[in-house]
Chain A
């Protein structure tokens, strides 16, 4: 939100005369997409958490009920969804740190864009090996492993 406020006055982009604001345009800017993604990943994690707490609650029902549901977490398709969830949470966390730096660090607004490229770099640097480790066993089982 703070990125919106610091980059362009909300609601001016559709109006006649908006061209006078060129240079402070927000719509279509990478900063806007970073916010859209932050919102989507946050909502997605919230919905996951709803399901996750309920499935974990099966430990109060019986070990076999819990184990049966957890087995689905180990199937190839769900395993792939987990990679997606980790990627989404990681993006949300890194961008959240960026938002906090923009809000609280005196140089934050000035560096919001380099920080965006930086977070994409960190995200990729974590996700490439992370994806490998998360899928390694599933893939080797699928292709002739034990």
Chain B
């Protein structure tokens, strides 16, 4: 239909253009479910290894971490877990802020604080995995 032939919307048009500006919330809803699926394996696996396998938490120390991060498999595991858990948890926290913050300014600043913490944790966590040095003690 060309633009000239239709100058007015039909009355009670079922289309609601304002609701179609973007699909961000749809993608975020989908992301929560897809990342959740991956996190089942990553996080529950991590918890099992760290707390139950062998001597559980009692065997963890620097040498243990050095042994694990010598393997690209565990480096990748931890990196994927870091990013997915942080984005999934961060997106969930955004929902919680939207639900409970009553004033626009409170909501704005809580979200800024949240985004800053997500960026900080992603940056520190990623850096630590990529720059880990088993001989740091010299």
Q: Which of A57-85 contact B (CB under 8 A)?
A: 57, 59-60, 62-64, 66-67, 70, 73-74, 79, 82
**A133 to B56 CA separation, bound complex (whole angstroms):** 8
Query: How many positions in chain A have a CB within 8 Å of any CB in the partner chain?
Result: 37
Instruction: Write out the residue numbers on chain B whose beta carbons fall within 8 Å of the beta carbon of A62.
Output: 136-137
Instruction: Write out the residue numbers on chain B whose beta carbons fall within 8 Å of the beta carbon of A49.
Output: 85-86, 89, 121
Would you call B125 and A67 a contact (CB within 8 A)? no
Q: A54-B124, A66-B61, A89-B47 are in contact. Are A137 and B89 (CB under 8 A)?
A: no
Q: Is A108 an interface position by the 8 A CB rule?
A: no
By DSSP majority rule, is chain A's interface helix, strand, loop, or mixed?
helix
Contact of B52 among A43, A67, A130 (CB under 8 A): A130
By DSSP majority rule, is chain B's interface helix, strand, loop, or mixed?
helix
Range for the number of chain B residues in contact with chain A: 35 or more
Would you call A46 and B92 a contact (CB within 8 A)? yes
Instruction: Write out the residue numbers on chain B whose beta carbons fall within 8 Å of the beta carbon of A54.
Output: 121, 124
Interface residues of A (CB under 8 A from B): 39, 42-43, 45-46, 49-50, 53-54, 56-57, 59-60, 62-64, 66-67, 70, 73-74, 79, 82, 86, 89-90, 93, 96-97, 99-100, 103-104, 130, 133-134, 137
